[in-house]
Amino acid sequence: MSLPHAILTALLEKPSSGLELTRRFDRSIGYFWSATHQQIYRELGKLEQAGHIRALPSETPARGQKKEYEVLPAGRAELAEWTRRVEDPKPIRSALLLRLRAAAVVGTEGMADELRRHLALHQAQLDEYLGMEKRQFPPERDTEADRLRHLVLRGGIELERFWVVWLTEALEGLDGLEARDRTGP
Amino acid sequence: MSLPHAILTALLEKPSSGLELTRRFDRSIGYFWSATHQQIYRELGKLEQAGHIRALPSETPARGQKKEYEVLPAGRAELAEWTRRVEDPKPIRSALLLRLRAAAVVGTEGMADELRRHLALHQAQLDEYLGMEKRQFPPERDTEADRLRHLVLRGGIELERFWVVWLTEALEGLDGLEARDRTGP
DNA sequence: GGGTACATGTAAATAGTTACATGATTGG
DNA sequence: CCAATCATGTAACTATTTACATGTACCC
């Protein structure tokens, strides 16, 4: 039940249309909770029905026309209630770790290339986060909201750093194994 | 499409019944791809239909009776093909990071307690992984499969370590904010 | 007027969760 | 025999993904 709350947060930061939300998800909130435009439109409909958001009055409320939403008091209350809820962390799901484990049984062929590819992707994501950190959180700004958002971004940064470090180590180990396969133990 | 492959891997490591698989998921593979017994039974049915696994012959193949499965060559081939596939990492989903971001907008009340609770849970998981590492990967054992499985466990360990470090820092930041709220800036 | 980007949406399929049903085996 | 545990399964619901449909606005 996180998507509606992700949307409420985004809309509180700035009232937006469905497509604008989709784009903002691709750049910021979506780094921790991604969503496609179809999910977002559907969820906007539900949130509107529930009285948590409303469409800003517009001259031409028709298909193909931009429709902007803003959060109503009930939506803000729901979001606040959500932040205070007790909710256990969900176990991570990593197809890559799973595939490596499968490779332990059926062989590591092709794995090293795939790890290198993932390493490059995580390195790129890390660089992007570091750029965002520099641009959005210069040392002088320091409101409470800024500090919290910075904390969240630091989480993203350290997670990507974890992957970069782990993948680098994994590749060293795997290259060792593959060299041994080629030359014999 | 990872669950069937997680099951194939587990069955290759050791032929099992549905309930045995469920328990093994709770302890090992499930750390990176969790699943409930309902998901597992449903998937076992599909894998059997697809000819990837088969039930070991039994005298009484009835409801309430244990039914053991083993992997057929086609299943092993499918798993090997999967490990060689090109597949991008999926963006992480963390409801906690999301909730912290929401708290930046609607207030941090209750957040510190929740972070402390998560910190304790991740610390416990880390300790469990470290215990598994000690028991399952003593320095002397060093087959290829062992090294790969150890690598996967190291991934789990470092991920939990990330959470422990990040949550500790986050709590320091948050306590600073809340102290400032109480005493004024 | 034709293409492209913008914008919203429907439909269907897959994946995951939650609640409940049913039968076997075993120990008291 | 009854409760607890083991074991398999059905059903319904929620969430997510993928493919496609439709309409508007603007530029050439």
At residue A22, the pLDDT reads 94
Q: Which residue of A has its CA nearest to B142?
A: A177
Contact flag B156-A97 (C-beta cutoff 8 Å): yes
Q: Report which secondary-structure segment, H or E, holds A68.
A: strand A68-71
To the nearest whole Å, the CA of B64 is away from the closest chain A CA by: 30
Q: Is the pLDDT of residue B59 over 60?
A: no
The protein residues having a beta carbon less than 7 Å from any atom of strand C are A 17-20, 37-38, 41-42, 44-45, 63-68, 90, 93; B 1-3, 34-36, 38-39, 60, 62-65
Contact flag A79-B106 (C-beta cutoff 8 Å): yes
A151 chain-B contacts, CB cut-off 8 A: 100, 169-170, 173-174
Calpha distance A173→B137 (Å, rounded): 15
At A63, list the tokens: 């298909």
Spatial contact of B107 and A14, defined as CB atoms under 8 Å apart: no
B96 chain-A contacts, CB cut-off 8 A: 87, 89
Q: How confident is the model at residue B69 (pLDDT cuts 50, 70, 90)?
A: very high
**Tally of CB atoms within 10 A around A11:** 26
Q: How confident is the model at residue B36 (pLDDT cuts 50, 70, 90)?
A: very high
B40 CA from C26 C1′ (Å): 26
Residues of chain A with pLDDT under 50: none
A87 CA from C5 C1′ (Å): 42
At residue A59, the pLDDT reads 53
At residue B184, the pLDDT reads 54
Q: Report which secondary-structure segment, H or E, holds B54.
A: strand B53-55
In chain A, what percentage of residues exceed pLDDT 70?
91
Q: How confident is the model at residue B23 (pLDDT cuts 50, 70, 90)?
A: very high
Q: Which nucleotides of C are covered by protein (CB under 7 A)?
A: 6-11, 14-20, 22-25
At residue B145, the pLDDT reads 85
Q: Is the pLDDT of residue B39 over 70?
A: yes
At residue B182, the pLDDT reads 60
Q: pLDDT (tens digit, 9 = 90+) per residue, B171-180?
A: 998 876 666 5
Which residues make beta-bridge pairs with B53?
B71
Q: pLDDT (tens digit, 9 = 90+) per residue, A81-110?
A: 999 999 999 999 999 999 999 999 999 998
| CB-defined contacts A:B, below 8 A | 215
Q: pLDDT (tens digit, 9 = 90+) per residue, B102-160?
A: 999 999 998 999 999 999 999 999 999 999 999 989 887 778 888 999 999 999 999 99
At residue A61, the pLDDT reads 55
Q: pLDDT (tens digit, 9 = 90+) per residue, B98-118?
A: 999 999 999 999 899 999 999
For every residue of B58-120, DSSP letters joined together read: -S---TTS--EEEE-HHHHHHHHHHHTS--PPPPP--HHHHHHHHHHHH--TTHHHHHHHHHH
Facing residue for A145 by CB, picked from B87, B97, B104: B104
A97 chain-B contacts, CB cut-off 8 A: 32, 152, 155-156
**Alpha-carbon distances of A130 from A136, A146, B3, B82, rounded to whole Å:** 10, 16, 34, 33
A31 chain-B contacts, CB cut-off 8 A: 91
At residue A84, the pLDDT reads 94
At residue A180, the pLDDT reads 58
At B28, list the tokens: 């090992």
